[in-house]
Amino acid sequence: MEEMVNVFLFGKKYSVPSNLTIMGAMEYAGYQLIRGCGCRNGFCGACATIYRIKDDRELYACLACQTTVQDNMYVATLPYFPLVKEVYDINKVSPNEQIMMQLYPEIYSCIGCNACTKSCTQGLNVMQYIAYAQRGEFEKCAEESFDCIMCGVCSSRCPAKISHPQVAILARRLTGKYLMPEAKHLTNRVKEIENGDFEQMLEDLMQKPIEEIKELYNTREIEK
């Protein structure tokens, strides 16, 4: 027989197999997941979740699709965390420290508690990339934050109310727009698409049986 554990989902107690993820436990308990489930593989950040274990005062943050249930786990999901998203035109800003001060001045209120890093569902050094952003080192910030999936869990634990993912994506946009050399092969490919060079190829592809499409995908040549 499967080992069972008790979990509390949205205040109700359920007995579920101990090898399930939080998301799997929700479905086992009868919940039909119609939002907040996304890719189910830890890439989209849609299933940001907080939980506590009985008699443990610590509040933990995770992705429900990647975290295995524990006995006496109390779970609550986070609908999309409301990050502060400033509006800017990437063609009218410059890659300097002033742009961060102008758009996300709260990053200079960071107290170095490292709660953001500890809660990151991807294991990123969030506090470090915020430090890079403070110093205007946008390339380093872009590299350190590259795997961010923008789930917002880091911001949910931040006493300074920093919107870390939005800071990171600004750094990556500035890096791509102004600091990295032009990727000429990408520029050429965009021109080919605009010229309609691939329209017939796509049309032919859409007419193929699904199994043939799967085979083409599985045996495709992958760039190194």
Res. 106 pLDDT band, cuts 50 70 90 = very high
For 35-41, what is the mean pLDDT?
A: 84
Give the Cα separation of 2 and 7 in Å (integer): 15
Q: What is the pLDDT of residue 1?
A: 56
Pairwise pLDDT comparison (156 vs 137), residue with the higher score: 137
Mean of pLDDT values over 119-141: 95
Give per-residue pLDDT as tens, 176-223: 999 999 888 989 999 999 999 999 999 999 999 999 999 999 998 877
| Percent of residues, the chain, with pLDDT higher than 70 | 98
Structural tokens at position 64: 């429900």
CATH 3.10.20.740 fits 4-77, yes or no: yes
Token pair listed for 102: 């102008």
List phi, psi (to 5°) of 216.
-60, -40
**Average pLDDT value for residue range 9-33:** 94
Q: Would you place residue 111 in the very low, low, confident or very high pLDDT band (cuts 50, 70, 90)?
A: very high
Quote the pLDDT of residue 36: 80
Beta bridge partners of 77: 49
- pTM across the whole model: 0.73
Give which of 165, 98, 156 is closest to 126, Cα–Cα: 165
Q: Are 111 and 160 spatial neighbours (Cβ–Cβ below 8 Å)? A: yes
pLDDT of residue 183: 85
Query: Where are the domain boundaries for CATH 3.10.20.740 in the chain?
Result: 4-77
Cβ contacts of residue 25 below 8 Å, gap of 6+?
A: 7, 9, 14, 16, 17, 69, 75
Gyration radius of the chain's alpha carbons: 22
CA distance 115 to 13: 29
What band does 80 get if pLDDT is binned at 50, 70 and 90? Answer: low
Instruction: Show the tokens assigned to 198.
Output: 């691939």
